[in-house]
Structure 1
């Protein structure tokens, strides 16, 4: 079973996982002849009560994934940078991470979670649908996003 550890988003471990995530997106976008815009998050946005950032640690102690939530406006938090190394996928750890982020958002007073993603991330879209997210109108200007989802919580 994986462990979820709260960590500052600018910690070297968290930063390395974000770099892996961004690298994977750049490669995936390049195959579609699309440019990926890399932007590392502001640490304050993922520090309670504004948000939280979690890393996933496997049974052998390796850090293999990450994700966070950040406050957008009163009662609404955004899920960001949900990532698992490819060799760890299919074990339920994405669902575990997303559930814990939702729990943390509720603890911080959230009434709604939103997220954006790219249509090429089909497994992610499946996870979001399976956990109660539904398509919503575009809520931001993220150049990397083509789909937006929301879920009432709390």
Structure 2
């Protein structure tokens, strides 16, 4: 998502929680944060509705697996909408210099695939497809509160909760 907006994404940990920070030039970090919050809210709602509707009789492990596959499909469908919405140019040189200065000791965040090594079961493909179909209905509109000509400083880091 950050690349679409010309931003780098950094995960920050605090004692009680963690949050994503979008780092970029101009209004890009604020717009990326807005898009992230809106889409995350929609994804959580869609996931809960899917689980309530389709996963009633599944054991907890299967319910989580199907919901994860649903979310994966949803995100795949939304990815093209994000690219169209963002339309940002990346100021690569300035962003690299800022990241090298402010985040020189940054480590990679290891992701984990909860589906790795597991064979798909009946209904798993349907869960992914249902997520993709649901993601097509995701809504992302441009905000009306900010002025487009008011630049934000490089490294603007809004916090997400």
Normalised by the length of structure 1, the TM-score is 0.27
By relative contact order (CA 8 Å, sep 6+), the higher-ranking structure is 2
Write 1 or 2 for the structure with the bigger share of strand.
1
Computing the radius of gyration from Cα coordinates, the structure with the larger value is 2
Structure with the bigger percentage of helix: 2
Give TM-score, length-normalised by structure 2.
0.26
